Amino acid sequence: MVNNMSLKEYEETGKIPLIGTMFPKMAVNTTHGLKRLPHDYKGKWLILFSHPADFTPVCTTEFVSFQKHHDKFAAMNTELLGLSIDQVFSHIKWGDWIKENLDVEIKFPIIADHGEVARQLGMLHAKGSNTVRAVFIMDPKGIIRSILYYPSELGRNMKEILRMIKALKVADKHDVAMPANWPENELFGDDVIVPPAGTVEKAKERLTDETIECLDWWLCHKENPEK
């Protein structure tokens, strides 16, 4: 729990980062050489994801899927960066195996961690030294916008991660929020949520704004501005 600590105080305790804080500065060794985080990804969205180990079945399906969606991520100014507690040569040989046997070339870098990075980011499993299936989404300013954790038994859903990037970009650009299952919400379809009014005057204005539909002054939506 954070309790009454400020974000700065929380970061200084050495606990894992929180949504809304800057990604911690670090230098990591990858299959594409040294990377400085978050500096080397300034101006881009970054998906940093950990996997339990190289040469494992579920992880292999995930890496193939990440790579097959690589162009879609790139079209949204988003980079991919993998991580596990394996050495660089293991990452490279695993990538070679995927290329030779599945005809998919892994083009994004993979961090070779000895446990320090995973420990700092809270990626370690409680019952072992392997990393869990964690996902950190970082915005172009280096701020952590989302943290997801998956069990070892469950591979990740790339469409959901793509949806999150798209939604965060729309939210930042237009100061809106997304309803459940957006853009296929059961109530509002692909409309976006207008944040609740902060004053009585704004609340009244909402009820007469023709671009906004309200079920009540605090529950309003409007057409997706990206249409």
The whole-angstrom separation of Cα 37 and Cα 48 is: 10
The CA angle 20-39-169, to the nearest 5 degrees, is 45
| CA distances from residue 161 to 42, 66, 115, 150 in whole angstroms, order as listed | 20, 10, 25, 13
* Token pair in block for residue 137: 């989404």
Selecting among 47, 59, 81, 121, the annotated active-site residue is 59
- Give the phi and the psi of residue 43 in degrees, each rounded to 5: 90, 0
Helix pair angle (57-68, 158-174), 10° resolution: 40
The CA angle 188-194-195, to the nearest 5 degrees, is 130
Residues in the chain: 227
- Give the phi and the psi of residue 166 in degrees, each rounded to 5: -60, -45
* Token pair in block for residue 84: 């596990």
Annotation says 59 is catalytic: yes
**Cα 180 vs. chain centroid, distance in angstroms?**
17
| CA distances from residue 135 to 50, 118, 127 in whole angstroms, order as listed | 7, 12, 19
Q: Are 102 and 95 in contact (CB under 8 A)?
A: no
- Positions marked active-site: 59
